[in-house]
Structure 1
Amino acid sequence: MSIEPNPPTLPRRVLGRRLRELRELAGLTRAKAARSCEMGAQTLWRLETGRNSETKKMVINALCDTYEASVDDRRELLWLVDESRKDGWWHSMADAVVPEAEMYLGLEQAAREVFTWQTMIVPGLLQTRAYRSALWKIAEPLGRSIDLDSELALLERRQKRLHDASGFAVEVALSESVLRQPVGDTECMAGQLGHLAEMCALPNISLRVVPFGAPGHLGLAAKHFIYLVFPDHMNPVLTEPPVVYVEGFTGALYLDKPSEIDQYQAARGSILQVALDEGETQRLIEATAREYRA
């Protein structure tokens, strides 16, 4: 089996996908776009598939001019050029030019399947507005400025995909501690758990809880993570491999090496092996919600 000399890193893959999206939005063929920027179509193909060894910012600026890209799109693409030159990818929330939430959102919107394992808080896709607001209240001592209206609008934008049963599947595994850890007041928690129970009814959402007392499993070592799977493309070269996203206190880690993916896939299987089934999960969530209402 041949080994690709410059396997695409995640930043190069994201950069390529965004360039391809902007070109298609501009209604240009690859050949026409390449001619406009005085480059070969093969060179542009390598950019769009993340297989270029080095990306020059002057090339990205030329493509942005051709596609009439917005200021924000241009800024994101140039930032990705800088990130693609790094050996690893730890995305700092404090220092990144592109907001961390928007970066992750692009991956989530492109994914066809998301698996998330959470040990302390409800994942964003299933959060209520009150729960999300309470989380930002907890974070106030960090001094990060936040436009709550924009944050809640972003949350709503993400959650719209939950109703796309034909093209988006979400599998959620939660430690029972997520249900028991108060975020906000009891009314907030009761509302959040009631929302989780309702989400169990959606055909493309699977929600399972790992109860206290469950046998040991790899989720204890993996902490929390999100595993994203992308659609198969007609051209296999353009099919993006899975990505694992791990959010930390001061930044976010993106993993895409096959050995890393294999380990997190093993963790996923281990977690689900000890989790309650969906019916048992729904009954536990509803019972816990009643405790908060009492």
Structure 2
Amino acid sequence: MVTGSTMARRALGRELKRLREAKRMRQSEAARAIGVSPQTIGRMEDGLPTKVSDLYINVLCNTYEATAGQRAMLLELALEVRTTHKSGGGWWRAYADEMREGFDHYMGLEEAARRISVWKVTIIPGLLQTPEYRRALAWTETPGVQTGPVEKRVAMVVRRQARLDDPDFVVDVVLSEMTLRDRIGGAGVMAAQLRHLAEVGEFPNVSVRVVPFDTSGHLGSVTGSFVLLEFPKMSATGLIEPPVVFVEEYAGDLYLEREAEVKPYRNAFAEISRVALDHDTSRQFILSIAKEYGE
């Protein structure tokens, strides 16, 4: 699987930061070595888009007294960043006009992930949405928007779901009953959406389970919705990217990467999974609600 520039940038930044800190150097000192601002060094180390030429990498390696192996790894990562950038980035770039600000970063993470664990209190996850559901959601998000932009959002969801055909991409979804009861688009749209959930939940690499309303107090009520993304080894370097927690908010998204931030969400997902219905019971529960919509 191609990891793309998002993973390469994150790995490159993390390794550059580790080398700098091992030399007890400040970002301002590293910046002077290659003639850039400390902010540029910060962007590099945070894995954000910025120039990563071989000249910069080699000078920083000299400054940090990197080993030959470390230098080769960093140059390989920088090459992957530039190659992906020249090719125009991920397929989702074509839909940039219809994505909210910053969501392209999440798409890069999702495309590179080997496993995602999702807890949703409201709204069916994009990977599992039907076109009709996504269309109705778009009208809810931006009433009065023209048909063209809406259909572009729908097309993006359909393209995004191609990842589900990859047997090495594991999707573990736990839904609050609220996601099944919230009538996005009306009864007909919801009935079809829930039948789709039951169908996709039969895929060997996809799990869809439900936490009913009558479940006693559980941690999911406190955490709110979140996604835990885990990544494979990078083919070029053998590095494994640390997991990321994505918390989607109406006014802006949150990405948590430090182990101290990720661990509570990992534990929370395990606890929410513990109280969720099992696979078969969840499927019957989903279909029973779909039947209610169809009546």
Compute the TM-score of the two structures, normalised by the length of structure 2.
0.70
CA contact (8 A) 2:57 2:74 kept: no
Distance change in 2, residues 1:240/1:71 (3 Å): closer
Partner residue in 1 for 2:257: 256
CA contact (8 A) 2:176 2:210 kept: yes
Partner residue in 2 for 1:291: 292
Hey, what's the Cα distance between the residues in 1 that align with 2:148 and 2:44?
26
| Structure 1 segment 121-270 matched on structure 2, within 5 A | 121-141=123-143, 147-165=149-167, 167-233=168-234, 238-270=239-271
Hey, what's the Cα distance between the residues in 2 that align with 1:109 and 1:67?
13
Letter in 2 for 1:264: Y
Q: Shift of the alpha carbon at 1:101? A: 3.0
Q: Shift of the alpha carbon at 1:139? A: 1.4
Hey, what's the Cα distance between the residues in 2 that align with 1:268 and 1:287?
25
Distance change in 2, residues 1:238/1:15 (3 Å): farther
Partner residue in 2 for 1:90: none
Specify every segment of 5 or more residues in structure 1 that has no aligned partner in the other structure, as ranges: 21-32, 51-59, 77-92
1:273 matched to 2:274? The reply is yes
Q: Which residue of 86, 103, 106 corresponds with 1:104?
A: 106
When the two structures are aligned, how many residues end up with a matched partner? 242
Partner residue in 2 for 1:69: 86
Hey, what's the Cα distance between the residues in 2 that align with 1:67 and 1:204?
28
Cα deviation code 1:245-264 (max 9, x no counterpart): 01101111000011111100
Distance change in 2, residues 1:119/1:128 (3 Å): same
Distance change in 2, residues 1:108/1:12 (3 Å): farther
Q: Shift of the alpha carbon at 1:179? A: 0.7
Partner residue in 1 for 2:58: 40
Cα deviation code 1:213-260 (max 9, x no counterpart): 212222111100000000034677731100000110111100001111
CA contact (8 A) 1:111 1:168 kept: yes
Q: Shift of the alpha carbon at 1:156? A: 1.4
Cα deviation code 1:48-95 (max 9, x no counterpart): 769xxxxxxxxx9xx85x98826779xx9xxxxxxxxxxxxxxxx87x
Specify every segment of 5 or more residues in structure 2 that has no aligned partner in the other structure, as ranges: 1-16, 23-40, 62-70, 94-98
Letter in 2 for 1:132: R
Hey, what's the Cα distance between the residues in 1 that align with 2:244 and 2:84?
28
Indicate the structure with greater helix content: 2
CA contact (8 A) 1:49 1:238 kept: no
Cα deviation code 1:106-135 (max 9, x no counterpart): 100000000110011100000001101111
Letter in 2 for 1:129: P
1:119 matched to 2:144? The reply is no
Hey, what's the Cα distance between the residues in 2 that align with 1:113 and 1:155?
18
Compute the TM-score of the two structures, normalised by the length of structure 1.
0.71
Hey, what's the Cα distance between the residues in 2 that align with 1:67 and 1:232?
18
SS at match of 1:116: strand
Cα deviation code 1:247-290 (max 9, x no counterpart): 10111100001111110011101101100000000000111000
Q: Shift of the alpha carbon at 1:157? A: 1.7
